[in-house]
Amino acid sequence: MDAIRRHVVVHGQVQGIGFRFSARVEAQRLGVSGWVRNRSDGAVEAEIEGEPPAIDAMLGWFDEGPPGASVTTMITSDLEPTGEHGFTVTV
């Protein structure tokens, strides 16, 4: 399968609860590459890349978040794959 890449912005109670670090664990479990970071507006932003089933699963995870999260809105857009490997939490 060819890799796909998505840009994701998650709004709600998503900062201060370990969202980014939980996202990294989930991405590693699913074999998804990319990055995640907090935004100054209180949202969490990520780019994720991998095979379509893994990306769908990761998007499902983002829509729920870890325990303690309350996701109100998730906005996604398509990006061109970059061939990135690994998943990082950025500042």
- Measured in degrees and rounded to the nearest 5, phi and psi for residue 90 equal -110, 165
Q: Tell me if residue 6 is catalytic.
A: no
Q: What does the alpha-carbon distance between residue 38 and residue 23 come to, in Å, rounded to a whole number?
A: 12
Catalytic residue among 5, 20, 24, 39: 20
Q: Tell me if residue 20 is catalytic.
A: yes
Q: What does the alpha-carbon distance between residue 75 and residue 87 come to, in Å, rounded to a whole number?
A: 20
- Give the catalytic positions in this structure: 20, 38
